[in-house]
Amino acid sequence: MDEQNLHYFEKAPVAKAVAHFAVPMMLGTSMNVIYTILNAYFLGTLHNTAMLTALALTLPLFAIIMALGNLIGMGSGTFISRLLGEKKYDDVKHVSSFAVYSSLILGLIVMATGLPLIDLIVHGLGATPDSFGFTKDYVTVMLLGSPFVVLFFTLENIVRSEGAAITSMSGMILSVAVNIILDAVAIFVFHWGVIGVASATVISNFIASAFYAYHMGFKSRFLTVSVKWFKASRDILSNVFKIGVPVFVMSIFLGAMSLLLNYFLIEYGDQAVAAYGISSRLLQFPEFILMGLCEGVVPLIAFSFTANKLRMKQTIGFTIQAIVALAVVFGVIVYLISDHLIGLFTNDPQLIEMGSYILHVTFLSLFITGMTTLFTGIFQATAQGTAAFIMSIIQGVTLISVLFIANRMNGFHGVVWSLVIADAVAFLVGAIMLYVLRGRLQPSLDHLAQ
User: What distance in Å separates the CA atoms of residue 167 and residue 336, rounded to the nearest whole number?
Assistant: 37
Which parts of the chain have pLDDT scores under 70? 1-3, 37, 255, 258-259, 270, 345, 441-450
CA 156 to chain centre: 12
What pLDDT, in 10s, does the model give residues 344-373? 767 778 888 888 888 888 888 889 989 999
How far, in Å, CA of 83 to CA of 90, rounded? 9
270, 351 contact by CB (below 8 A): no
What was the pLDDT predicted at 447?
42
Give the residue from 178, 116, 180, 108 showing the smallest Cα distance to 150.
Answer: 108
Determine contact, residues 179/200, Cβ cutoff 8 Å.
yes
Q: Where are the domains of the chain?
A: 1-232, 243-450
At 45, is the secondary structure helix, strand, or coil? Answer: coil
For position 442, what pLDDT does the model report? 64
For residues 426 and 441, give the distance between their C-alpha atoms in angstroms, rounded to a whole number: 20
Q: Distance (Å, rounded) from C-alpha 278 to C-alpha 272? A: 10
